[in-house]
């Protein structure tokens, strides 16, 4: 009898481990959370050694739709300690939080769990990649490396894009209508730093929202999608 697990069985096993890690994270047990998914610490260490977090901007872990942190502070601190990145609760490195922190969050949002962008096929498909392109536990390049490469590529050649705050922030989309991958980044002194990426159902609606809602004169720009100024 063949006892080798199928690809689907392997995926479900990894998701169960991630569920256990996220449950421990919700209890504030950072140690148990990281023990449940050993690849997470290894990935963060590899990214830190390669300087990949420097390609990401700053973000708050307080979700703008929820109005509360989507990650326990002990886990927030452990993530940044492992990455060797400075943080001041609730603000930290966007790559640390949006890529790895969201994997450990079980806080519901109007758009579902934050981690689904990495576990589901929608974002990968929108980037023109294989469904499992962002499987966090995959061998080879880390999740952060894969996400950074995809997001940076889209920023270079978007189907549609908008700049705000005098060009300080840019939103890039993989399509101008329909489902798309969205990348949001901050530009400073010709240095582009990523903030986030996620799938959207209607790219045209995103573009319209940006075009029709500029800040009132004299009102400072409010960064989007949990970016921290």
Q: For residue 97, what are the contacts with CB-CB under 8 A and spacing of at least 6?
A: 59, 61, 71, 76, 79
Average of pLDDT values for 160-177?
97
Residue 223 in any domain: the answer is no
Q: For residue 196, what are the contacts with CB-CB under 8 A and spacing of at least 6?
A: 59, 94, 98, 183, 184, 225, 226, 227
Average of pLDDT values for 64-87?
97
Residue 226 in any domain: the answer is no
pLDDT of residue 49: 99
Residue 140 in any domain: the answer is yes
pLDDT of residue 214: 78
Residue 106 in any domain: the answer is yes
User: 1 pLDDT band (50/70/90 cuts)?
Assistant: very low
Q: Whole domain around residue 115: which residue ranges?
A: 7-212
Q: Is 104 helix (H, G, I), strand (E, B) or coil?
A: helix
User: 2 pLDDT band (50/70/90 cuts)?
Assistant: low
Residue 220 in any domain: the answer is no
pLDDT tens readout for residues 109-139 = 999 999 999 999 999 999 999 999 999 999 9
pLDDT tens readout for residues 183-218 = 999 998 879 999 999 999 999 999 999 999 877 787
Residue 139 in any domain: the answer is yes
Spell out the alpha helix ranges (H) of 53-121. Answer: 73-83, 94, 116-119
Distance CA 64, CA 94 (A): 15
pLDDT tens readout for residues 131-152 = 999 999 999 999 999 999 999 9
pLDDT of residue 172: 99
| Closest among 195, 178, 177 to 186, alpha carbons compared | 195
* Tally of structural domains, the chain: 1
Average of pLDDT values for 76-85?
99
Evaluate if residue 170 carries a pLDDT over 70: yes
Beta bridge partners of 169: 164, 186
pLDDT tens readout for residues 35-49 = 999 999 999 999 999
Residue 63 in any domain: the answer is yes
Residue 198 in any domain: the answer is yes
Q: What percent of the chain has pLDDT over 70?
A: 99
CA angle, 6 as apex, 3 and 11 as ends, to 5°?
125
Residue in the structure block whose two tokens are 């490195």: 93
Of residues 174 and 221, the one with the higher pLDDT is 174
pTM, 2 dp: 0.95
């Amino acid at each position: 009898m063949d006892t080798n697990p199928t690809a689907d069985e392997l995926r479900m096993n990894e998701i169960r481990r991630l569920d256990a890690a996220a449950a421990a994270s919700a209890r504030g047990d950072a140690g148990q959370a990281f023990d449940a998914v050993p690849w997470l610490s290894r990935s963060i260490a590899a990214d830190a050694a390669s300087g990949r977090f420097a390609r990401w901007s700053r973000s708050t872990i307080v979700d703008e739709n929820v109005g509360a942190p989507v990650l326990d502070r002990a886990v927030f601190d452990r993530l940044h300690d492992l990455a060797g990145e400075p943080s001041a609760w609730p603000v930290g490195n966007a790559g640390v939080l949006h890529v790895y922190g969201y994997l450990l969050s079980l806080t519901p949002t109007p758009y579902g769990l934050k981690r689904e962008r990495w576990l589901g096929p929608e974002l990968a498909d929108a980037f023109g990649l294989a469904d499992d392109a962002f499987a966090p536990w995959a061998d080879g390049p880390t999740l952060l490396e894969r996400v950074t490469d995809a997001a940076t590529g889209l920023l270079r050649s978007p189907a549609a894009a908008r700049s705000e705050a005098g060009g300080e922030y840019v939103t890039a989309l993989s399509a101008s209508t329909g489902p798309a991958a969205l990348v949001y980044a901050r530009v400073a002194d010709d240095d582009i730093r990523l903030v986030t990426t996620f799938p959207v159902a209607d790219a045209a609606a995103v573009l319209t929202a940006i075009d029709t809602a500029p800040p009132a004169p004299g009102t400072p720009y409010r960064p989007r999608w949990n970016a921290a100024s």
